[in-house]
Structure 1
Amino acid sequence: MTPVPPTRRGACPAFLSPMETGDGLILRLVPADGTLATAQVRGLAAAAIAFGSGLMEVTARGSLQVRGLRRETVAPLQEATWALGITPRLGLAIDVSPLSGLDPREIADGRPLADAIRAGAAALADRLGPKVSVVIDGGGAIRLDGRKADVRLVAMRPGSDVLWSVAIGGGAAVLLPEAEAAARTVAALAGLAALGRAARATDLPGGAASPRLAATARSPIGLLPLADGSLACGIGLPFGAADAATFTALADAVDAAGARDLRPAPERGLIATGLDAAGARAFAEAAERLGCLVRADDPRAFIAACPGAPACASAHFPSRQLAPAVAQALGPLLDGSVTVHLSACSKGCAHPAPATLAFVGMDARVALVHEGAASQAAGPLRPADTLAADLAALAEGAIRVRRPGETGREALRRMAVADLWASKGHLKAMIET
């Protein structure tokens, strides 16, 4: 397959408007209440097999995706979703933590604010662009600072009262009580609607600067105490994807562990809630047997990989297929300070934020961006089929020269990794000399 040059898409896949790519259509599903019962997970898995390729994903924003649909199978999958009792989020994307209202560490439950904004903006929905989004971060264990947003609201407690920091686009934030924060957000959305469906918050007065995202988002992997005394257990999908059989097996594990539900989570995670200590341990063990990530220090947790070729029509190399070998090669360096992005084209869908190392597909080969985003890729280019070997040599060299107390990221910076990448010949030979 010849890669299609990357183009700026007007929208991501959605429930009512799936997006076409190399392996068919992708349908994105965000449960309106953020939760899935185990019967619903099993039903979705069965529908993914019946109407798609059987491959399911959880995105960096915590959305579910079903891949490999055909035009004639989209409606049956949508109908199956409704029949399972799942209400999909439609219209304006308003993101809150999947543990909102359950997290004892959060400063505020973001759901009432989300409801107020949704109600206030209901009449604007048809005039807002499909990528316009609002992020509400209540300040708990699951932070949303790695997500792009036209309006970002973050809970603060500067005194005895909770206030919301409201930032429009990349503009300066202001602290407001909840009702005023909702009104300011709705006013910004009205301004966007007046500018047309192509407008984003950076087009508004005071929103001209582009916001800088956190380079390392917080993983949901691990045990999280809940306000009712129970536990949540977060796991990760390897590079955000699993087949339908794995989702079915995870639903069985949730039931066996005594959890109440399974929740899609940011950074390609799933969270089982309402567990006791024994149940949390049993669920984590079952998830590990299924190949899921159950430790926050798993090298795979630090690698974002898009589907790549042949699943994506714009891809220049099989990024997700190479991801396990890349994780193994770079494992000694992945100490929490290094983030890696395998992006099969320059759109950078899997990780919009800057990464320590971004490997980007161009002209059927791979470019390196050191400490930057995939969109900055320009070359020089190296073959994709030597990527794992090149990175194993890179990690070996960095470990050899790393000073006591130095992080993997610091060692890479001192090695001038971009200059090594630009050198001719095998990286191992260049590093050894």
Structure 2
Amino acid sequence: MSPVPPSRRGACPAFLAPMETGDGLVLRLFPADGALTFAQLSGIAQAARVLGNGMMEVTARGSLQVRGLRAETVEPLRERIIALGVTPRLGHAIDLSPLSGLDPTEMADARPLARRIRDGISGLEERFGPKVSVVIDGGGAISLDGRKADVRLKARRGQGDAVWTVAVGGGPAVFGSGAEAAEHAVHALTRLAALGRRARSTDLPGCGDTTDAIDTPPAPPLGRIPLADTTFAFGIGLPFGAGEAALFAALAAAAETAGARDLRPAPERTLLATGLHATGVEAFAAAAEQLGCIVAPKDPRAFVAACPGAPACASAHFPARELAPQVASVLAPLLDGTVSVHLSACTKGCAHPAPTTLAFVGMDCGVALVHEGAPSKATGPARPVEQLVEELRALAATPRAAGETGRDLIRRIDAARLWARRDQMQSTIGT
């Protein structure tokens, strides 16, 4: 069977261009400085209740989303956000750690490099496609390895100042100083802009994809993170990246009560409260846990990404987020930090564009499996959605050898082939 093509717009639900989906319009917000005050987050939550359907999300790339808007409520929402004093990031994404400049373990502060690149491509923004992105990873407590990027810059330790590597698409990395890295990135982006708005870095000569395999998935930034000013950040996860607006307002209140400085949307669908002292860390962690958030790195929900699914998304073939708690529960024995799971209700893979260990992909009104790949690689067979949880329960119950990780077991039994063989067996029985 072949996939039913999803409604692919080649766009993201940006601040100035919300995207239509099954439950209305979706508006995406990333604060220009990465941080939100408690009043700002609470105010956005209030606006989401009044102007949207009351659902909010933190994305895998660390943006905040408001769902269920109508055409006539988009501009009032933008006006409220601006009135709250939030400056949204506009233009193309240049992603950094939300703790850049605060993290004592980072090899370099990525912010000056981001400014150089932003200045270098000024005036070219209208010539890029909306999904073109740059990732600048200065090292430190928060890994950005799980983010797909057209241009990726990463700090390496040198004898003096940090050395930066620059990779364009799947092409080879080059090394240089901060100034050289910025120049190389701007040159690549300028070449990309010349190809038009549909172009991505893989369209540049010598920059195609090199592999679909994945390494160990990056850990979500959960728990206590020491900061350079002797305070702490504490990361909490939103269950599958979403919650009602009341949850976000309650988290803002809890962070303020605990003595935090601000809240920062962060990678892998998390929020960071920064500026906490030791007692405040404990207070905020307890409050977040009581609210149903993920506070422990070993929580199985931390390793499962899920898009909204049906009926919220018009492209969805199954209710991904509704199934996600059951999937996390039954797969818990395998979710040991070596396995990442993605419930993608169509082949677009919005909740986690990068490859995962297991991607369950909606197509042909069923679910297909991609082992160590992205949802876009799904080809079938598609199994009935109703069988998914029980199939995963059987997988998780498979005996493991001594020292065998969850990922090792999945490789050993060849889950993708097993998925296909069972489908073929059932088809034979049915005839």
TM-score range, shorter chain: over 0.9
Q: What are the ranges of 5 or more consecutive residues in structure 1 without an aligned counterpart? A: 428-433
Q: What is the correspondence of 1:219-230 to structure 2 with a 5 Å cutoff?
A: 219-230=220-231
Q: How far has the Cα of 1:162 moved from its partner? A: 1.4
SS at match of 2:152: strand
My pick for the range that moved more, 164-173 or 235-244, is 164-173
Question: 1-side partners of 2:414 and 2:194: how far apart?
Answer: 48
Matched residue, 1:122: 122
User: Larger deviation: 371-380 or 294-303?
Assistant: 371-380
Give the whole-Å Cα distance in 1 for the aligned partners of 2:92 and 2:407: 37
Find the partner of 2:415 among 417, 421, 425: 417
Residue 223 of structure 1: SS of its match in structure 2?
A: strand
Decide whether the 8 Å contact of 2:57 with 2:243 is kept in 1: yes
Q: Does 1:326 align with 2:327?
A: yes
**In the alignment, which residue of structure 2 is the partner of 1:430?**
none
User: In the TM superposition, what is the alpha-carbon distance from 1:423 to its structure 2 partner?
Assistant: 4.0
Q: Mean alpha-carbon deviation: is it higher for 402-411 or for 317-326?
A: 402-411
Q: CA RMSD in A?
A: 1.7
Q: Which residue of 2 aligns with 1:19?
A: 19
**Aligned: 1:338 with 2:339:** yes
> Measured at CA, do residues 194 and 426 of structure 1 come closer, stay the same or move farther in structure 2, by a change above 3 Å?
closer
Of the three residues 402, 405, 421, the one matched with 2:403 is 405
| 1:54–1:67 contact (8 Å) kept in structure 2 | yes
> Which stretch shows the higher mean deviation, 308-317 or 336-345?
336-345
Matched residues in 2 for 1:140 and 1:287: separation?
Answer: 24
SS state at 2:123 partner: helix
Q: In structure 1, what is the equivalent of residue 429 of structure 2?
A: none
Distance apart, 1:209 and its partner CA:
3.4
The reply on whether 1:186 has 2:186 as its aligned counterpart is yes
The residue identity in structure 2 corresponding to 1:191 is R
Structure 2 vs 1, CA of residues 160 and 211 (structure 1 numbering), >3 Å: closer, same or farther? Answer: farther
> Which structure 2 residue ranges, 5 or more long, are not aligned?
426-431
User: Aligned partners of 1:347 and 1:215: how far apart in 2?
Assistant: 22
Question: Per-residue displacement from partner, 1:173-200 (whole Å, max 9, x unpaired)?
Answer: 1111111211221122211222211122
Match of 1:381, SS state, is coil
CA distance in 2, matches of 1:349, 1:256: 34
Please say which of residues 325-334 and 212-221 is displaced more in the overlay. Answer: 212-221
TM-score by length of 2: 0.94
- Asked whether the equivalents of residues 4 and 363 of structure 2 are also in contact (C-alpha less than 8 Å), the reply is no
Instruction: Note closer, same or farther for the CA distance 1:211–1:75 as it changes in structure 2 (3 Å cut).
Output: farther
Within 1, Cα distance between the matches of 2:161 and 2:66?
Answer: 42
- Residue matched to 2:359: 358
**1:238-253 alignment, distance < 5 Å:** 238-253=239-254
Range that drifts further, 373-382 or 248-257: 373-382
Distance in 2 of aligned mates of 1:147 and 1:37: 26
Aligned residue for 1:431?
none
Q: Is the 8 A contact 1:356 1:372 kept in 2?
A: yes
Aligned mates of 1:206, 1:378 — CA distance in 2: 27
1:121-200 to 2 correspondences below 5 Å: 121-200=121-200
Partner of residue 281, structure 1: 282
Higher RCO (CA < 8 A, seq sep 6+) = 2
The structural deviation recorded for 1:418 is 2.5
Deviations 1:91-135 (A, max 9, x none): 121111000000000000000111111112111112121111111
Aligned equivalents of 1:11 and 1:309: distance in 2? 20
1:50-73, CA deviations, whole angstroms, 9 ceiling, x for partnerless residues? 110110000000010000000110
- The residue type paired with residue 336 of structure 1 is G
Q: Secondary structure at the match of 1:382?
A: coil
For 2:412 and 2:128, how far apart are their aligned partners in 1? Answer: 46
- Give the % identical residues: 67
Name the SS for the 1:352 alignment partner: coil
Q: Which residue of the partner structure matches residue 235 of structure 1?
A: 236
TM-score by length of 1: 0.94
Distance in 2 of aligned mates of 1:424 and 1:296: 34
Query: In the alignment, is the contact (CA less than 8 A) between 1:214 and 1:353 conserved in 2?
Result: no
Q: Confirm or deny: 8 A CA contact 1:215 1:355 kept in the other structure.
A: no
CA contact (8 A) 1:20 1:26 kept: yes
Aligned to 1:384: 385
Aligned counterpart, 1:317? 318
2:88 maps to 88
How many residue pairs were aligned? 422
Matched, 1:63 2:50: no
CA contact (8 A) 2:216 2:337 kept: no
After superposition, residues 191-210 of structure 1 pair within 5 angstroms as 191-209=191-209
1:292 is matched with which residue?
A: 293
Tell me which moved more, 155-164 or 285-294. Answer: 155-164
CA contact (8 A) 1:4 1:314 kept: no
Contact kept, 8 Å, 2:52 with 2:68, in 1: the verdict is yes
AA of the residue aligned to 1:406: E
